[in-house]
Amino acid sequence: YLFDKRWKIGADDFKSWGDLKRCSLPLSDIIIIDPYVVSDIHSIKNNLLPYLKCLTDKTRSSVNIVIYTNREKCVDYSELSPLIRAAVKSVTGVKPNFTLVTFIQKRGVPSKQAEHDRTILMNYDRIYTGDTINFFNTEGEVITNGREIHYSSLAKDENHRLANTLIDDLQTNIKFLEVNNPTSIQGDKKSGYLKFENATLLHD
């Protein structure tokens, strides 16, 4: 059993997000950590939304989605939320819960809440996406300088331990933001792995 699988971006077996559907598993949670994943509406429509459809391809129940990103490089929540909810519902048949968590990374000023690595954590897998998940343009052409996307199974003890450490670190950051900048957390505040204070269901 292989705990890891890699694809070269743009290769014959990975020319679009739909090519990865065969690796999708049923899930309840998706945590996306990427400072630039929602920085541009066109990239969102060409990459994030079709990839979310791919990841939820085997799921027919509610999904908790948390995006942890740079506030200075983020489209407005009111614009982002309906796009994500509609995309996932079109596959699962159920409106997902969505939470947007933003940190502030000022140039030249270190921030303990900033996350620079790009990764996606789910129930059974962790995905390493290199410098971005914004791989393709509207025509399906590769627009990234990154080479590969890497799937890592949490069935391997080492991978599972690293994932737990990531969750612990994110939880620490979220607690800090809740106290010092509560407006940086928007949405349903629902997750199977992260805890949010004053979690309420928001309808938008």
Question: pLDDT tens digits for 2-49?
Answer: 689 999 999 999 999 999 999 999 999 999 999 999 999 999 999 999
Give Cα 77 distance to the centre of its chain.
Answer: 15
- What are the residue ranges of helices labelled H in the chain? 41-43, 49-55, 77-92, 157-180
Whole-structure pTM value: 0.92
pLDDT in tens, 38-94: 999 999 999 999 999 999 999 999 999 999 999 888 999 999 999 999 999 999 999
CA dist 102 and 2 (Å) reads: 35
Residue where the block lists tokens 């994110």: 170
Q: Provide CB contacts within 8 A for 157, sequence distance 6+.
A: none
For residue 54, give the amino acid letter: C
| pLDDT value, residue 201 | 44
Find out whether 125 and 25 touch, Cβ atoms under 8 Å.
Answer: yes
| pLDDT value, residue 2 | 66
| pLDDT value, residue 7 | 96
> 175 vs 111, which has greater pLDDT?
175
Query: Is the pLDDT score of 110 beyond 60?
Result: no
| pLDDT value, residue 40 | 93
Torsion of CA 47, 44, 197, 104, to 10 degrees: 110
Beta bridge partners of 32: 67, 120
Query: Is the pLDDT score of 188 beyond 60?
Result: yes
